[in-house]
Amino acid sequence: MTGCSTTPPVQTTTTDRAQLPKPTVEAFYYDEIQAMLLLYQQHEAWQGTPYRLGGVSRSGIDCSAFVQITFRELFSVDLPRTTDQQLRVGQPINRAQLQSGDLVFFRNGRHVGIYVEDHKFLHASTLAG
C-alpha cells in the first residue's frame, strides 16, 4: 500500500467496455476535508500491505479490492470488485476536477487508486506494498 504523488491519467472507456452493462452505485457526497483525513488514516492502516493479485486482506491485496474495501469502510459505499467494473461506475472528469475520494484509473484501465489531494493518490502498489 502506498501513496503516490503523481497525477495518473484519467481513463476514458473503450468501445468494448461501452458495450458492457454499467454497474450502478448511488452517488454520494462527502465533505472533501473529512474524506481527505479519512483517506490518510486508511493509508496509515494499510501501509506496507503487500500486493497480491486477487488478494482481499492485509496479508495481501490488489488495487480494486483496496478501493472496494476503502469505500465500504470509510464511506459506506459498495463498489464493484474488479477494476474493469469500477471503471464503468460514475462519470469521467478532467484532472482539474479531481476531489478527495475520486477514483483514478491508469495503466490502460487495469489499475485503480483513490485521489487524496495535490496530485497524491492511494493504491495497492506492486513495488512498494
Indicate which residues carry an active-site annotation. 63, 111, 123
Angle subtended at Cα 89 by Cα 77 and Cα 8, rounded to the nearest 5 degrees: 100
Contacts of 25-33 with C-beta under 8 Å, sequence gap 24+, read 25/77, 25/78, 25/79, 25/80, 25/89, 25/90, 26/77, 28/75, 28/77, 30/75, 30/100, 30/101, 32/99, 32/100, 32/101, 33/100
